Structure 1
């Protein structure tokens, strides 16, 4: 604990807050859609936020302190989208599917087969995958100038000033500039926040063959392919060799334990984790783990406060969230592209991976991150098959 307190810095704490801000505001609406589709009551919806916040917070906090590396977890966003598109499934049947999904994730981690797959992916492909996943956020930051030019330009100037004279505090300056401009413009909707604590609500699971096939297995597949795959790639591309099997196992166990309360699927984060692994978190890579530790603390607070914190995060204009995410990730995007295109023999495969991932292509219900890796792997096989 002493070492953790010694390694704590303002830049790490702000990076953790920005990661949580981006993670919640970018996809919490999908969570609400999923709960509504499953017929959840308002108390059950609040319990989902409680379970998801505590699950992400405890796993991020525990794994980061254990490994001394920035390990950030998240809920499965494509999994929530899958649930939001599901019809005819009752809440208790869905909970049974969540438990089975968590068991499958635990097996994938404990047996080590997922880590063995990741060890075969070259660093150029992993870096291109990371850059492709994150570049969309950079584009969104630029496009946000169409609806809020003054806000985004002010934040961009704050970023440039920070990078020139206070590089460790560039992201805090961006966030501060955005909040000040939004407040002056009257765009902070604080009056809509409903203050109150969230309480867990138990739902007794029911296991059926139809939900096993129609919910549990697809939820497991999209979580592994669309979330854990880029999550591990983000770590490898940033130079961290986090124990993959142990991390995946931890997220699976958290899913099994918290599923009856709404913790439907946990996984390694990629986009928000990149914020915690960049230079903006700390100049010393060995001290960046405190960014994900602080993110874990913020997630726990969100889980306990429930709807109040979600409402507070929604008080920020969407352009502010888009701009702070895009600007905070610029260094990581540039680093990923640099590593991806560094070696001539991997350059074609890397650029294919980057473009397919950036495209947002979705086939067979699987997102572009998976197909980006497939495109890069096919390119490597064709170009280097049986070559020394």
Structure 2
């Protein structure tokens, strides 16, 4: 495959002896444009085609995001069973500070999803590797100022009015998460690079295997070696780096990536400013969705009984975060579908993909909200044994259910604004 080395999405130059890949889901565009069929039959057939394609992409993507999220949250759960202070510290560290870095990195990494998806749909395969390297470089640089927030987290939390005991314990937990920042910087571009090619199963297998290993390593760190909060967070950082390395090894050895990964390129250092603008815009969109989580957690730490307030609110936020990953998975699948279809010149298919993914995510969110309401009196015991916290969580559950439904739609739609 001979491709022009530019950043445009023009049709590539293809050698005559090489087959031209068929556009993604061309059957959907043909069905939507088939005037010989009645409107109802067109919708029925198009729905069948799109749902099959969408869930083939969305299911593994959701599993990846859920498993990655559960890997982080399992550390919080382990810390919660050490005591209320440890749970409050891990919750404040995870949901109050670490979530900020997660949102920035995931948001900026979403630029790769847009660009790689369109390049793949337009058959400009070599540009996917360039975008991957360019994004990783940019995110690594972004990780430096984020690291400073972690280093000075204790005075920052004290300045925001947190108690000395919680601020000190949270800062200790965050020190061990500093390597995780740079794991995010490498992980999200790699994930988006693979997703743009509809390669999602390998990431799911890696995430599942690492979750099992992470739980075992965390148990050993806390209950065998008694490493405490710092040890728990260091194990979490280590687990994220294992995920990154495993995914990159897959890219290097897999035949499915031989056209899209051709090695390191100096093109990664070109066009950085335009890439910065696109990445920053996508990061702001996602950060606006996650900042209210952090504000609520920080405000909870200012209440009369901060440990119980932080524990109960953080449990609700953790549950919401798990279900939020379902919407993010649909967002990723929809972004792949839309960008691939636009790159292949299929506007009707792109528009129809947006409708179907939004409806699918909304229906699943409603079902999850009903389940959470039904389990409101017992769901907190996953995280802690305290009955006081359980009662507080039960009172917050109706608001949690409403948030679940709203988050079932908003993250999915926001991903389409990049096109």
TM-score normalized by the length of structure 2: 0.26
Larger radius of gyration: 2
Higher helix proportion (structure 1 or 2): 2
